[in-house]
Amino acid sequence: MVTLDDITLAATRLRGIAARTPLIPYPRQRPSRELYLKPESLQPIGSFKLRGAFNKIASLSDAERRNGVISYSSGNHAQGVAYAARALGVSSVIVMPGNAPQIKIDSTRALGAEIVFVGPASSERKAKAEDLAREHGYVIIPPYNDEKIIAGAGTAGLEILADLPDAETVLVPVGGGGLISGVAAALKLSGSTARIIGVEPELASDAQASFRSGHIVEFSADQTSRTLADGLRTQSVGEINFAHIRRFVDDIVTVTESEILDAVRGLALDAKLVAEPSGAVTFAAFLFRDLPAAQKTVALISGGNIDPALLARVLSQT
């Protein structure tokens, strides 16, 4: 399990690399129900993934860095690994699904990574990365099931605690579980009494099914590929992540596709924040779910790498 010292060390490594994103009051909130947005979309790569990727690569030995790194991702972790590797002078290879948004493919390539394409299943890209790592000696940088990745993501939790120590509810997107594992650990290990609630699409609700059953539930790639929230199409949470979720997370809720798109639109028009569907699920939960009463809620907006055509379509439907 990740410790508070692990997360604090990650924060030291990330100083000057990852942005310290602010808490922005939602302009249309009611005085009795305050909402604060944490826009990880403002990171240099447009998502929180830089935190874990840099912490992991920075922790490698010189010999490991010389071998180069490889990862597997639908897009945001790909950019995080590519950015971190370039900053640390390490070569990187990323295995991506062929149906990844073009904006994420182009950004990953622009950051200097070599890209290998496979099918849509998260299990397929993981297997390909493992094959290439064995063949070439690359070090694997997992997208979520790793304590260094979790600790890096947890630095966002430390920032929430510093900026709003009396937060009562913190909403966090759930894909593979890296972000919620780290944020929940950072808050609970620091003594926060805030409720940590994960949010995922109804069409990819494997984390909720796992949380409620007490064991990891895996969905098929066909099931998870139905959601527009491409960053949350992971077929199951990681084993390390699930252990953290069971210990630190209070609940996991789901939102519909139409609710996610309404949230993307609302963030753009009201808060002036561009969020991808995966990042907007927390705002959707605040708007449309009957959450426990709270005076102060934080919605973590995990990323803003939305396809421009999709954003234009969403905004035209006002």
Active centre residues (catalytic)? 49, 302
Question: Among residues 96, 11, 85, which one has the least CA distance to residue 54?
Answer: 85
Which helix (DSSP H) or strand (DSSP E) does residue 247 occupy?
Answer: helix 239-248
Q: How far apart are CA 67 and CA 89, in angstroms?
A: 11
DSSP-based three-state secondary structure for 19: coil
Taking CA atoms, 316 is separated from 271, 306, 309, 311, in Å, by 17, 15, 11, 9
Residue 19 exposed, middle or buried by CB count within 10 Å (0-12, 13-18, 19+) = middle
Q: What angle do CA 200, 238, 218 make, to 5 degrees?
A: 65
State the number of CA atoms in the 13 A half-sphere of 203 facing the CB.
21
DSSP 33: B
Residue indicated by tokens 């979309």: 41
**Phi/psi at 77 (5° precision):** -65, -35
Q: Is 239 left (phi over 0), alpha (psi -120 to 50) or beta?
A: alpha
